[in-house]
Amino acid sequence: MQDQLTALLAKAQAELATLKQRPEFEAAKARYVGPNGELTALMKQMGSVPKEQKPVIGKLINETKGQLQTLLDAALRQIETAELQAQLGPAIDPTLPSPDSGAGTSHPLTLVREEMCRILRKVGFTVVEGPEVETEYYCFDALNTPADHPARDAQDTFYFPDSAKFGNVSKKNHHEKYLLRTHTSSVQIRTMLKGKPPIRIVSPGRVYRRDTSDATHSANFHQLECLYVDKNVTVRDLKALLDYIFASLLGKDTKTRFRPHYFGYTEPSFEVDLSAKHLPKVNKEWIEIGGCGMVDPTVFEGVGYDSTVWSGYAFGMGLERLAMLLYGIDDIRYFYQNDVRFLKQFA
């Protein structure tokens, strides 16, 4: 019996180490320790073992059983490891490029717009939107632009035929024409008519001018405007806002200055110049960046605000111009060509 057990163990040791597949293993396991297995057969012979040898043989059988189990466990581990290994491909080369395209990118105009909105939100401005198709009232009349003003000419502004209908752009007067807004100031009017002061908004958006396209002009471009209406708003507050915006966007070395100017919807009105010589491709001391002023009382009266109670300022600028300045881009058309080599530079 003892010899048989030793032989069985030796045979198992030799065989189990060579097993590669799970079915082979299961078969081998059955052959050794299954109900009809060799060890089971030997155990059944226990009855014929003389009584005095029983404890010794019993112990031996148990030991053999334990050793067989260890061998089986080892064989199974080996097979499991081989199975996992089989799931793997060849070793990777970490220096090969991913076949998937690289990171996505936001357009530089989006980046600048969002950065400006972020800066303005910090000082209480919320972002509003309005329709790009507008009417003469919201784009011109309400902004104190006289009926014969050149900006309203069909030469400068895109109009729609009298018969055109826009289901979700409201008209103020039945007979007025639809047009493509020439500035985002129309959003100020819609906001003031809809709400009540105090108002603190920024309206970025697309605007249209009937103009030749070249390195600095584009058939549509983007503006960003701020409007603040409250009691006792002053020119000094306006200057403080612009100083804050441009120092935040372009760095502390940036300076602004106001030059008196004329706009129909503000009084007094100013053009804003920037001094930011640390930016790329800036070779002038002062660069014009936008227009601003104190909301004209006529505009307030037009939207039903008492101009002796309410005061406010407005500021507007071109986003392309700002992006060009910020990144040192010298042709506005690059924004609209979307050459991926261009788009990838700003993320």
Partner 1 sequence: MKISLKWLKSYVQLDASVDEICRAITFLGFEVEQVIRTGAPQLENVFVGEILTRAKHPNADKLSVCTVDVGSAGGVKTIVCGAPNCDAGNRVPVALPGAVLPGDFTIKQAKVRGQLSDGMMCSAKELTISDEAAGLLVLSGSPALGTPINAVLPAGDVVFDIEVTPNRPDCLSHLGIARELSAWFKQDLNYPEVTFTPNAADPAPREDLLKSVRVEAEHDCPLYTATVITGVKIGPSPSWMQERLKAVGLRPINNVVDISNFVLLEYGQPTHAFDAKKIGGQEIIVRHAIDGEKIVTLDGKERVLNSHMLVIADATKPLVVAGVMGGENSGVDDSTTDLVLESAYFRRQSIRTTSRKLVLSSDSSYRYERGVDPHSLEEATHRALDLILEIAGGKVAGQTLRIGADVPWQREILVTPGFINEKIGFEIPEADIRAALESLELSIVREEPTPERGPAMTVSIPSWRDDLDRPIDLVEEVLRVYGTERIPVSVVQAPGLVGDDDPIVLFNRKVTDQLVGQRFHECVNYTLRPQKELQAWASPTAVAELALANPFVEDQSHLRSSLIPGLLETLKLNQSRGVSVSRLFETGRVFVERDGANFECVAVAFVIAENPADRSWLKREATDFYAAKSLATLLASAAGVDLSRQQLQPVTQAHRGWQEGQAAVAGEMQNGWFAALGLVDLAMVKSLGLEGKVHAGVFAILPEKLAAGGAHRRYQPFSLFPAALRDIALVVDQTVLASEVQKTLAKLARAATGNAFSLETIEVFDVYQGTGLAEGKKSLGFSLVFRSSERTLTDDEVNVAFQKVQDELAKTTPYQIRK
Give residues 124-183 in contact with partner 1 (rule: CB under 8 A). 124, 126-129, 131-133, 148, 150, 153-155, 158-162, 164-169, 180
Closer residue to partner 1, CB minimum distance, 25 or 265 = 265
Element (H, E) at 289: strand 287-295
Task: Give the shortest CB-244-to-partner 1 separation in angstroms.
Answer: 5
> Restricting to residues 263-302, which ones interact with partner 1 according to CB under 8 A?
267-271, 294, 296-297
Task: Give the shortest CB-300-to-partner 1 separation in angstroms.
Answer: 11
Number of chain residues interacting with partner 1 (CB under 8 A): 87
Residue choice 95, 236, 252, 304 for contact with partner 1 (CB under 8 A): 236
Q: Are 61 and 42 in contact (CB under 8 A)?
A: yes
Closer residue to partner 1, CB minimum distance, 57 or 332 = 332
Closer residue to partner 1, CB minimum distance, 76 or 346 = 346
Closer residue to partner 1, CB minimum distance, 42 or 226 = 226
Closer residue to partner 1, CB minimum distance, 14 or 147 = 147
Burial letters for 75-109: b for 16+ Cβ neighbours within 10 Å, e otherwise? bbebbeeeeeeeeeeeeeeeeeeeeeeeeeeeebb
In sign, the C-alpha dihedral spanning 94, 97, 103, 109 is positive
In sign, the C-alpha dihedral spanning 189, 194, 196, 199 is negative
Report CA-CA distances (Å) from 7 to 110, 303, 327. 80, 106, 84
Tokens representing 235 are: 């020119």
> Restricting to residues 22-81, which ones interact with partner 1 according to CB under 8 A?
none
d(CA 157, CA 138): 14
Tokens representing 49 are: 């073992």
Reference 333, options 325, 324, 341, 346; nearest CA is 324
Say whether residue 262 binds partner 1 (CB under 8 A): yes
> Restricting to residues 316-335, which ones interact with partner 1 according to CB under 8 A?
335
Task: Give the shortest CB-217-to-partner 1 separation in angstroms.
Answer: 11
| DSSP reduced 3-state for 228 | strand
Task: Give the shortest CB-190-to-partner 1 separation in angstroms.
Answer: 11
Say whether residue 247 binds partner 1 (CB under 8 A): no
Closer residue to partner 1, CB minimum distance, 36 or 338 = 338
Task: Give the shortest CB-58-to-partner 1 separation in angstroms.
Answer: 45
